[in-house]
Copies of this chain bind each other. A is one copy, B any other.
Amino acid sequence: MSSRSPDAKAPDPARRSDRSRRAILDAALSLVSEVGYNKLTIEAIAARAGVGKQTIYRWWPSKAAVLLDASLALADDAKEEVEGDWTGIPDTGDLAADLKLVLRATVDQFNDEKYEAPMRALTAAGATDPELSARFTEQLLRPQLALYEERLRAAREAGGLAADVDLGLTVEMLVGPLTYRWLMGTAPLTHAFADELVDRVLGGVAGVSKVTEA
């Protein structure tokens, strides 16, 4: 199975202009922040990138796909910015503290214009385009979720979590409510919310009584 229909003659990636590729991704990111996803047009991206429209259509099937790649590049940049030898969520021994640290960072990212606009765009596009949604989830979300799961697994092995706890579900219990509040705007997205959430999620799954006991 290929990502392209078989009758379409695929362009040669070896001859691709990296200059154009970067310009397109940059233009897409800046434009989506400026005018929003609905008013984002391929023509505007091409114009700002100083590129022919065909160069976009040659390599991406839709403006959402451009944004996905742009977001992936953005995520890579962000990662490198923080540290060169990133190895996941820190493990200080205090699971709750570690999770709060990361979830607060996620809250900050959700509240940061730079990241919010493309994130909303991809969410909107993915909501009605299953194929894009799949790529979005696998390429952007899954790696992040895996980091949470890894940290939780370490905690479980260290005895800080019950042995039979469902790690995947736990991760979604952390990320789900956060995303929900961000998307639906049911209430402000704050650090306090992140902290509370971690406590509540861990409260029901901690091996030794830390939260519920008392």
| Interface residues in chain A, defined as those with a beta carbon under 8 Å from any beta carbon in chain B | 36-38, 120-121, 123-130, 133-134, 136-137, 141-142, 145, 166, 168-170, 172-173, 175-181, 183-187, 193, 196-197, 200-206, 211-212
Contacts and interface: CB of A to CB of B under 8 A. Distances in A.
Q: So how many copies of this chain end up in the complex?
A: 4
Contacts of A136: 184
Contacts of A124: 123-125, 127-128
Contacts of A137: 184-186
Q: A141, A186, A187: which has the most chain B beta carbons within 10 Å?
A: A186
Interface SS majority for chain A: helix
A169 B128 contact: no
A36 B177 contact: no
Contacts of A203: 204-205, 212
A23 B55 CA distance: 31
Contacts of A38: 128-129
A180 B179 contact: yes
Contact of A141 (B173, B186, B200): B186
Contacts of A184: 126, 133, 136-137, 141
Nearest to A181: B172
A196 B176 CA distance: 15
B201 A212 contact: no
B173 A126 contact: no
Contacts of A176: 173, 176-181
